[in-house]
Amino acid sequence: MSKDIRIKKGLDIKLVGEAEQVTTELPLGSVFAIKPDDFHGVIPKILAKEGTEVKAGQALFYSKSDERILFPSPVSGKVTEIVRGARRKVLAIKITADAQQEYKDFGKKDVDAMSGEEVKNHLFTSGCWPFVKQRPYDVIANPNQAPKAIFVSAYASAPLAADYDYALKGKEAELQAALTALTKLTTGKVHVSVAANSTLSPFKELKGVELHKVSGPHPSGNVSTQIAQISPINKGEVVWVVTPQDLVVIGELLLTGKVNITRTVALAGSKFNKPQYVTAKAGAQIADVVKGNLDADNTRMISGNVLSGLEVAQDGFLGYYDNLITAIPEGDDYEFFGWNKPVFNKISASRALTFSWLNPKKKYDLNTNTNGEHRAFVVTGSYEEVFPLDIYPMQLLKACMYKDLDEMEGLGAYEIAPEDFALTEFICVSKQPHQKIIREGLDLMREELG
Amino acid sequence: MGLKQNLHNLKEKYKGTKMAPAFNAIHTFLYLPNETTHGGTHIKAADDLKRTMNIVIMALVPCLIFGMFNAGYQHNAAINGFTEGMSFFSGDFWNMNNFLIGLTKILPLVIVSYGVGLLIEFIFAVIKGHEVEEGYLVTGMLVPLIVPVDLPLWMLAVAVAFGVVIGKEVFGGTGMNILNPALTIRAFLFFAYPTWMSGDKVWVHGAVEAAGTADAISGETILGSLAQSQPLSYSVSDMFFGFIPGSVGETSTLLILLGALFLIFTKIGSWRIMVSAVIGALVMGFIFNQVVALGWIGETSKFHGLMKLEFWKHLLIGGFAFGAVYMATDPVTASQTNKGKWIYGFLIGFISIMIRVFNPAYPEGVMLAILLMNVFAPTIDYYVVQGNVKRRLKRLKAKTA
């Protein structure tokens, strides 16, 4: 039985440079890197020292908290450098890829015959466990807990996000295998949400899952929004979350025995000459992926979307979970009387001489200017307009700032991820770093309450 | 090399020094800064706090200009007699003579208010090393509008200094204060210099100097005369348009209403607070009307004059409309939750009229009502937020039971 989810509160940020539905197969790049920071909260223990030859799918490191959780190399090649930062923290593990790719074979599996424990062990050994994330805390799932349900959001509502209906076309078999495997991991249900107006979704015909149709402005595609509507998380409960592009990897593993972390990546934003889709492996060097397509002059490159992605340089690397590279103009210029003149070329949730409300369909070319300086919280009531959860956003943010664990718990910190506060951060007139505040709050809770 | 580049070079030169906040305050007043996003969202909405505050100031400007004309008009009318049944655009009101009297009286108030207040803000910003916050831009505009026109400038300066330091900076500056700074300033004036803030001599320019002479003019406000159970001497249209004595900017309900609509339309002011404050005032006024109608209060009672006033007329007189639109909606000191705003606004309206009727010594309740509710706003919020917390706990209980 499916349930329709309608979201009213939120804000669609329409930007120019949406990726055209054309995919170019890129040649394999030469250097790849896995950054342990992509896996929040994981302390890496290196398995593949500098100089080791690895196959695609072979583990590079494991998590200090649970040695079963392995992190695989996306390509076969030689570990050429382990970049370390302050206090010898591992920043990146660089691999120079071989011309001929070799995959470590984990064996084909008949998913229907597998038990939950077998699925789990298979994900551990193949290094696919990190694809399973959990709420609360928005970190890689703790395999010792039993989730009450597993959620997949197949609707990306973030600005310029890759369109799942297009990017996952023809992957029905992989998705079905992966979802069947997931159903074995929980006693509850596996919930999949698709856009209400989607006709082509590869998830439409899949069996064994609860299908939900979502409509409404961003953040309706955020999985927390959907969880809150379908089955809100209570204290002590855990849900697991997997993204559709990671389901494909898991599915391929089960069907072929290979770990092939190849994504259909959207290149979007006004700074791309031709916004479109390309294929790339996780950890690919950005320069290889965007070659020949980028206007690099005064450009902000983002691995992920403009709201919660990570800034990367051209010699940086595609994030492990990301299926989107956004390029927008930097906004490091002054604007004469920018604070009081009428504004037509920027988005605003208010009407304070800002005129984006006149034309809700218009696409904007926003830059990275903060449009103002950091201030204390002053304005109230505006965050609630774009925040669809039954949570008081400002009160929760303040609870995180003064580190009151009881209050954070009471106000619903178990139900949220930093990305849920991206829109409130976007519209904040005080320019407060909401996602950072929430991340630090969640980390503190995880440390203190486990 | 233009102004932009020169200022940029200066900013880089003074970066990290003590005076940087002071310089930046002026710099960012001219130019939106060149700061880019780091860490969080890579794009930001167009609004910043300066823009928000600027909208409120724009909503206040019509009241200020009207106040200038009205100051002159009240002065001339007290000497030469009132014009009966003026239309809003009457030339008897909108003339240069009236305006110049008002300008010479009110412009100094504005300058002193901004000068003293911003100076203190700059000093605190430099000492504490944070940027100059915009909160005072609105406060500095509100203050001249809520004081009597003849207020001596040194009193205003002392009060502003007190209000900014004790009302705001000791709590940590903009966004941290408990009491509305503009009302703190007014309350200080009221309790420190009561003879200049109430009575029948202060509301019309020249009334104080003329007192006791043959040319004595009366400067009674409507509330003042009603509190003495004298009959209402102004027509409804005069009260609505604002051709009445009172604090500088508070008299014209029409312009305040337009300002309110502007604030609501731009989504800067909270319509919840404004609407619920009006409802609260109407309810209290209606209750008093009923008390009079039932004969519980005799004509001899000193409360009779104000209680008998038709309940909706309370909205037109005194500072109620101004307070409800511009002061109660201050987001820092009001309730911060939407449900809390309804309760907060309602109680402001309710208590305003209650104080107005029961306090003959000082027949204006809105200032004290707002200050009182400022203090209670966190408590209201606490219970509203606890409701959310309880709902979450109940959900858990339903699950485990």
Clarify whether residues A246 and A312 are in a common domain: no
CB of A341 within 8 Å of a chain B CB? The answer is no
Q: How far apart are CA B253 and CA B236, in angstroms?
A: 11
Clarify whether residues A118 and A234 are in a common domain: yes
* Tens-place pLDDT, residues A44-83: 999 999 999 999 999 999 999 999 999 999 999 999 999 9
- pLDDT at res. B106: 92
- pLDDT at res. A1: 46
End-to-end, the C-alpha distance of chain B in Å comes to 73
DSSP state of B323: I
- pLDDT at res. A384: 92
CA–chain centroid gap for A248, Å, is 15
Q: Is the pLDDT of residue B1 over 60?
A: no
- pLDDT at res. A160: 93
- pLDDT at res. B363: 66
Chain B residues with CB under 8 Å of A368 CB are: 36-37, 42-43
Last residue within a domain, chosen from A329, A344, A359 = A329
**Residue A344 domain flag:** no
> B40 and A433 in contact by Cβ < 8 A?
yes
Clarify whether residues A147 and A232 are in a common domain: yes
| Bridging pattern class, strands A210-215 and A190-195 | parallel
Tell me if residue B287 falls in helix, strand or coil: helix
Mark residue B286 as left, alpha or beta (left: phi above 0; alpha: psi -120 to 50; beta: remaining).
Answer: alpha
**Which helix H or strand E contains B384, and what residues bound it?**
helix B366-400
Last residue within a domain, chosen from A97, A121, A154 = A97
**Residue A413 domain flag:** yes
From the CA of B392, how many Å to the nearest CA of chain A? 7
Sign of the C-alpha dihedral computed for residues A174, A237, A443 and A394 taken in this order = positive
**Degrees to nearest 5, angle at CA B331 with B49 and A7:** 85
> B37 and A382 in contact by Cβ < 8 A?
no
DSSP state of A103: B
- Residues facing A133 on adjacent strands: A140, A241
From the CA of B173, how many Å to the nearest CA of chain A? 9
Contact between residue B280 and residue B348 where contact means Cβ atoms under 8 Å apart: yes
Mean pLDDT of B186-206: 82
- pLDDT at res. B204: 81
User: How is A300-362 classified by DSSP, letter by letter?
Assistant: EEEES-TTT-EEE-TTSB--TT--EEEEEE---S-EETTTTS-BSSS--SS-SSB-GGG-TT-
Query: In Å, what is the CA distance from A155 to each residue of A168, A211, A215?
Result: 12, 12, 9
User: How is B129-179 classified by DSSP, letter by letter?
Assistant: T-PPPTHHHHHHHHHHHTS-TT--HHHHHHHHHHHHHHHTGGGTSTTT-SS
**Residue A357 domain flag:** no
* Residue B38 token pair: 């780091």
By CB atoms closer than 10 A (0-12, 13-18, 19+), residue A87 is exposed
Q: How far apart are CA B347 and CA B343, in angstroms?
A: 6
Identify the closest residue of chain B to A396 by CA–CA distance: B385
Q: How far apart are CA A383 and CA B140, in angstroms?
A: 27
> A348 and B47 in contact by Cβ < 8 A?
yes
Q: How far apart are CA A348 and CA A331, in angstroms?
A: 17
Identify the closest residue of chain B to A338 by CA–CA distance: B32
Which of A235, A373, A377 has its CB closest to that of B35? A373
- pLDDT at res. B129: 80
Q: How confident is the model at residue B299 (pLDDT cuts 50, 70, 90)?
A: confident
Place of tokens 């696919």: A128
- pLDDT at res. A358: 87
Q: Which residue has the higher pLDDT, B50 or B217?
A: B50
Clarify whether residues A430 and A385 are in a common domain: yes
CB contact set of A180 (below 8 Å; sequence gap of 6+): A111, A112, A207, A208
> Most A CBs within 10 Å: which of B5, B37, B124, as the mutation test of the A interface?
B37
- pLDDT at res. B172: 84
Clarify whether residues A8 and A123 are in a common domain: yes
Portion 131-190 of A in contact with B at CB < 8 A: 159
**A2-11, B46-55, B368-377: segment of lowest average pLDDT:** A2-11
- pLDDT at res. B214: 62
Clarify whether residues A286 and A311 are in a common domain: yes
What is chain A's alpha carbon radius of gyration, rounded to the nearest angstrom? Answer: 21
**Residue A358 domain flag:** no
**Residue A349 domain flag:** no
CATH assignment of the domain containing A51 = 2.40.50
Q: Is the pLDDT of residue B167 over 50?
A: yes
Phi, then psi, of B217 in degrees rounded to 5: -120, 150
One-letter amino acid at B398 equals A
The length of chain B, given as a count of residues: 401
Among candidate residues A6, A234, A7, the one with its CA nearest the CA of residue A135: A234
Contact between residue A427 and residue A11 where contact means Cβ atoms under 8 Å apart: yes
CB of A381 within 8 Å of a chain B CB? The answer is yes
Place of tokens 């200066």: B10
Q: How confident is the model at residue B144 (pLDDT cuts 50, 70, 90)?
A: very high
Chain A residues with CB under 8 Å of B136 CB are: none
State what percent of residues in chain B have pLDDT above 90: 44
Tell me if residue B338 falls in helix, strand or coil: helix
Q: How confident is the model at residue B62 (pLDDT cuts 50, 70, 90)?
A: very high
The length of chain A, given as a count of residues: 450
**C-alpha dihedral (A276, A74, A158, A398), degrees to nearest 10:** -150
Q: How far apart are CA A325 and CA A277, in angstroms?
A: 10
Clarify whether residues A112 and A192 are in a common domain: yes
**Residue A355 domain flag:** no
Mean pLDDT of B34-40: 85
Tell me if residue A190 falls in helix, strand or coil: strand
Identify the closest residue of chain B to A432 by CA–CA distance: B40
Q: Is the pLDDT of residue B400 over 80?
A: no
Q: How far apart are CA B138 and CA B58, in angstroms?
A: 10
Q: How confident is the model at residue B215 (pLDDT cuts 50, 70, 90)?
A: low
> A422 and B134 in contact by Cβ < 8 A?
no
Residues of chain A with pLDDT under 70: 1-3
By CB atoms closer than 10 A (0-12, 13-18, 19+), residue B27 is middle
Which of B33, B40, B175 has its CB closest to that of A376? B175
Last residue within a domain, chosen from A97, A125, A141 = A97
Contact between residue A152 and residue A241 where contact means Cβ atoms under 8 Å apart: yes
Q: How far apart are CA B316 and CA B363, in angstroms?
A: 14
Chain B residues with CB under 8 Å of A380 CB are: 270, 331, 334, 336-337
Among candidate residues B242, B232, B220, the one with its CA nearest the CA of residue B321: B242
From the CA of B183, how many Å to the nearest CA of chain A? 18
| Bridging pattern class, strands A77-84 and A90-97 | antiparallel
Chain B residues with CB under 8 Å of A330 CB are: 36
> A378 and B52 in contact by Cβ < 8 A?
yes
From the CA of B167, how many Å to the nearest CA of chain A? 16
**Degrees to nearest 5, angle at CA A255 with A253 and A260:** 35
> A354 and B391 in contact by Cβ < 8 A?
no
CATH assignment of the domain containing A310 = 3.10.20
Q: How confident is the model at residue B211 (pLDDT cuts 50, 70, 90)?
A: low
* Residue A124 token pair: 């551990």
Q: How far apart are CA B144 and CA B147, in angstroms?
A: 6
Which of B49, B270, B341 has its CB closest to that of A429? B49
Clarify whether residues A76 and A8 are in a common domain: no
Phi, then psi, of A235 in degrees rounded to 5: -55, 135
Clarify whether residues A196 and A49 are in a common domain: no
Number of independent structural domains in chain A: 4
Contact between residue A185 and residue A240 where contact means Cβ atoms under 8 Å apart: yes
Clarify whether residues A64 and A113 are in a common domain: no
Among candidate residues A305, A130, A157, A159, the one with its CA nearest the CA of residue A224: A157
Write down the mean pLDDT value for chain B: 87
Clarify whether residues A295 and A314 are in a common domain: yes
Clarify whether residues A137 and A55 are in a common domain: no
For A235, the domain range is 4-16+107-256
Tell me if residue B359 falls in helix, strand or coil: coil
One-letter amino acid at B297 equals I
